A and B are shown apart, each in its own frame.
Chain A
Amino acid sequence: MTQHTNIAKTTAETLPAERTRSGRCYRPNVDIMELADELLVVADVPGASGEDIDVKFEDGQLTIHAHVPQRQPEDTQYLLYEYGVGDYYRTFEVSEAIDSDKITAEYADGVLTLHLPKAEASKPRKIAVKT
């Protein structure tokens, strides 16, 4: 078996409208979970620090943009170079009605967790059946 590098970082397919910085932009891996009262978005953005992450929610579009500074000088001679370092960018269309004022975000160990609470109207409601 030859050596496989099997989790190649994907370059972001949708770039922010205008980028003033050069360099690559990657698409973070995400888990999206639907809970009873919220949508949970978990994104891998290693190398970013909390204050360098922009999260926007506008017109049902959730945008994650994490600035990741280069960690090594540009002229580093790599013996093994399997991934590049660059910003993370990804947009999601959120169809669910979200209470945008109550969106919260946490960042720890390179993982960004977003809580998108569902708006009252879209929460599941149990209807009691009268007998």
Chain B
Amino acid sequence: MTWGYRNWWLPFQSLREEMDRLLAATWPTFADRLMPVFVRGQPLMNVWEKDDAVMVEMELPGVKSEQLDISVVGNELSVKVDQPDTAKEGVTYHRRERPVGKFTRVVRLPTEVDAGRVEAELRNGVLTITLPKSEKAKPRRITVAAAS
């Protein structure tokens, strides 16, 4: 067990291994196709709203910008992280808690956003994504004309 986000996965891991074993016994290739490397865990996310944008923040220490794949489709934001395991051969690990591997997080945004103007910044291991709201989703102040 060398993956990140292990704790949550543990019971499912043993279940999966059991299923893999059962399937592999009957139909080896089927097992591989049915059980691709799927989401091993989800990095945490904070989301809040500003007047003109939806803000998403994630703590991704050690992740480089080229290991990130951020995309917006409709009102769904997906963040993919591929952080290869840098474990060295022949090194004794006394602790291994830092997550590595691939993970994907998909979140549905509360409003429509302007996908063309989405900005992402990675600083000191913190990813901040600014998703400007599309024109029709912005709050509009309605002035009430006083009837004379």
Interface residues of A (CB under 8 A from B): 4-9, 29-35, 42, 44-49, 71-72, 76-83, 109-111
Contact = CB atoms under 8 A, between A and B. Distances in A.
Interface of B: 4-5, 7-9, 41-49, 54, 57, 59-64, 88, 91-99, 107, 110, 122, 124-126
Given A7-B8, A7-B41, A110 B47 contact: no
Nearest to B94: A32
Given A110-B59, A110-B124, A80 B98 contact: no
Nearest to B43: A7
A62 to B, nearest CB: 12
A80 B45 contact: yes
B8 A4 contact: yes
21 contacts: A6-B8, A6-B9, A7-B8, A7-B99, A29-B98, A30-B97, A31-B96, A32-B95, A33-B92, A34-B93, A46-B59, A46-B124, A47-B125, A79-B110, A80-B46, A81-B46, A82-B46, A83-B44, A83-B59, A109-B64, A111-B62
Given A29-B98, A79-B110, A110-B62, A6 B7 contact: yes
Contacts of A6: 5, 7-9, 41-42
Contacts of B88: 33
Nearest to B96: A31
B93 A46 contact: no
Contact of A33 (B8, B41, B91): B91
B95 A82 contact: no
B98 A35 contact: no
B60 A46 contact: yes
Nearest to B92: A34
